[in-house]
Amino acid sequence: MPLAAKYGVSMLPTILVFKNGEVVETQVGLVPGPKLQEMIDAHVSA
C-alpha cells in the first residue's frame, strides 16, 4: 500500500505530525511558518 494511501493523504501539501509512531495531528493546505512551529512545539517534549 502506498504511504499516502496508508495515511489518507489525498491533497498536497499535507502535514502529518507523528509522536511515538502515531499520527497526532494533521494539517491540509498551506501553513504559515509560525503555525507550523506551534504544531511541532505542541508535541515535542522539552
* pLDDT value, residue 1: 77
* pLDDT value, residue 45: 75
* Residue whose cell numbers read 493546505: 29
pTM of the model: 0.78
Residue 46 is assigned to a structural domain of this protein: no
* pLDDT value, residue 25: 93
Residue 26 is assigned to a structural domain of this protein: yes
* pLDDT value, residue 36: 93
Residue 27 is assigned to a structural domain of this protein: yes
Q: Give tens-digit pLDDT for 7-36.
A: 999 999 999 999 999 999 999 999 999 999
Q: Are 16 and 4 in contact (CB under 8 A)?
A: no
| Domain limits for position 24 | 3-41
Q: Which three cell numbers stand for residue 31?
A: 501553513
* pLDDT value, residue 46: 54
The pair phi, psi for residue 11, each rounded to 5°, is: -135, 155
